[in-house]
Amino acid sequence: MPSKTIDHAITARSLKSAATDPTHAGILSFMRRKYSKSLKGVDVAVWGIPFDAATSNRPGARFGPQAIRRASAIFDNDPQYPFARDLFADMAVIDYGDCLLDYGNHQKTPATIEREASRVLNSGAFLLTLGGDHFVTWPLLKAHAAKHGPLALVQFDAHQDTWFDEAKRIDHGSFVARAVRDGIINPDRSIQIGIRTHAPEDCGMRIIYGHEVEDMSPTALASLIVSHTQGVPAYLTFDIDCLDPAFAPGTGTPVAGGPSSAKILSVLQRLHQLDIRGADVVEVAPAYDHADVTAIAGATIAMYMLGLHAERLARQREG
């Protein structure tokens, strides 16, 4: 095996080079990308936020980034399905590691996340974040809106997350209400998919409930999402509990009656017309998982987000 190497996450000589690590071995970065804190020449930074102090039910999403990275080792460097391309041939992607947070001082968490996210965005890189509970999307949205202006939120979730609360409260169920109130997202262009609970407010957003998702084809659902955002800059957030617990048991607040991973992945691959400026996958809690089912779903969703961005870059380079 003279041409093969291991531990590509630290031995890679190029941000676009292919890994040859065995699936069962080697240092685990996201999809074997090089670990780096340097943003020079980077198209995409994959970043973990191991935070779950805002959960209202079962904790454990702080281990989500580790689980998603581990599950992503199943992706080798062949063309990735369904994009039929080596995602890294023309797209420089790093694993930016994790956000350093003080577990004993949660009031500092939002500003810490926002500050580091802004550093990545100001470099020109696209930021793909691995949570962590859904509270982390609040400071991420603030950082993205500071760069791109008010965003269309495309949210896959079983919960609306529109519970109003005090501005300084650390709560994973209120980030949408805050973002609407503070003008960070445009509710008229925002949409929530897979909702299977009720909250006091809809904040003027379009809601596609779980039973409606079941009645729609992936093509129709993707078309609705694209048409509703009307081409404005969008932020894509995926709470893993959007999926039915049969497909994502490892999460803090599972809700029965959700879609399959196959259906939602079919929707995601059709969102290439969205102007996605940032994305995250949150609420993977591996302590409640079985055979890495949830982590594999989370890693696959994150890979699809990279695939969509690779397609966008290819279109831009083609003119």
Annotated binding-site residues for Mn(2+) read: 134, 157, 159, 161, 239, 241
C-beta separation of 270 from 244 below 8 A: no
Q: Sheet containing 34-35: which strands, arranged edge to edge?
A: 34-35, 93-98, 44-49, 126-131, 276-282, 234-239, 152-156, 191-195, 206-209
Centre a 10 Å sphere on the Cβ of residue 252 and count the other Cβ atoms it contains.
26
Q: How many angstroms separate the Cα of 152 from the Cα of each of 110, 145, 309?
A: 21, 10, 17
Sign of the CA dihedral running 97, 81, 220, 223: positive
Report CA dihedral (303, 308, 310, 312) to the nearest 10 degrees: -170
Tokens 């041939």: give the residue.
89
In angstroms, the CA 241 to CA 251 distance is 6
